[in-house]
Structure formats: C-alpha cells, structure tokens
Amino acid sequence: MGLFDSPSHLLIILVVLVVLFGAARLPKAAKSMGEAMRIFKKESAKLHEEDTTTAQVQAQAPQQVAAPQPQVTPQQQGTQEQMAALQQQMDALQRQQMAAAPQPTAAQPGPATPPSATAPETQHTNQPG
C-alpha cells in the first residue's frame, strides 16, 4: 500500500503543508517551482538539440580537418548570459533587503571622542632643578 493510494493520505499531507507553510505561501511556491521546471525543460531541450546537431555534423564530415574554434562558443555565451541574469537577480534581491532593513535613527550616539583629545595639555619648562 503506497502513500498516495487513498484520498485521506493526500488530504493529511495537504493539511500538514498548509500548517507548516501557511496558505499564502503555497501558491507562490507552486508558481516558482513551475517556472523553474519550465526553464529546466527548455534548457535541457536546447542541450539535446545541440547534441543532435553536433552528432549530425560529425557524421557528415568525418574526413574534414577541424576548423579553428571561435574564442567564445555558443554554449559559453549562453552560460555567460545565464551568469549575468543571475547576477542581476542577486543585485535586485540585495536592493530589496536593503530597502526592507531598518534605517539607523539620528538619536543614536556617534563615535566617541578619544580621551586624549579632551584632556588638557601640561606645560613642561626647562628650569634647573
């Protein structure tokens, strides 16, 4: 007997999820998971197409001498674009955190002055003694 065989098991799991995460967070989590799965499927299909195209080109021209590779391959360019997009997302998240963080108030004391700056100076004289 499996975990998902009866509707009562599914209902219990659903209640536990609602209690743990709250009803407001579950739709957001499902949406973000769906977007992530969509992106993953798109990228894996792209990689599969590239592999198929590469295999066809290699099968058609086995005697040709390999041409010099360009400095940036399409796969590297795609990786660089992904990294740039991730960096932008990180920057946006940091800006959101900075906006949500409490700002310091003017009532907080500033840096303390060193005791040597407030102490009076003593005068030294050169008198025979």
DSSP letter at 126 equals -
What proportion of the chain, given as a percentage, has pLDDT over 70? 64
What is the pTM for the complete model shown?
A: 0.33
On whether residue 26 sits in a domain, the answer given is yes
In the structure encoding, which two tokens stand for residue 43, read together?
Answer: 């990228």
Type of residue at 100 = A
- Report the pLDDT value the prediction gives residue 76, as an integer from 0 to 100: 76
**Domain-located, residue 128:** no
Cα 125 to Cα 34: distance, rounded to the nearest angstrom: 84
Whether 8 maps to a domain, the answer reads: yes
Residue 42 domain boundaries: 1-58
Domain annotation covers residue 10? yes
Answer whether residue 16 is part of any domain. Answer: yes
Q: Average pLDDT of 78-84?
A: 84
Q: Is residue 6 part of a domain?
A: yes
The count of structural domains within the chain is 1
Query: Which one has a higher pLDDT value, 31 or 112?
Result: 31
Please indicate, yes or no, if residue 70 is contained in any of the structural domains.
no
Beta-carbon contacts of 50 under 8 Å, excluding residues fewer than 6 positions away, are: 74, 75
Mean per-residue pLDDT for 89-99? 86
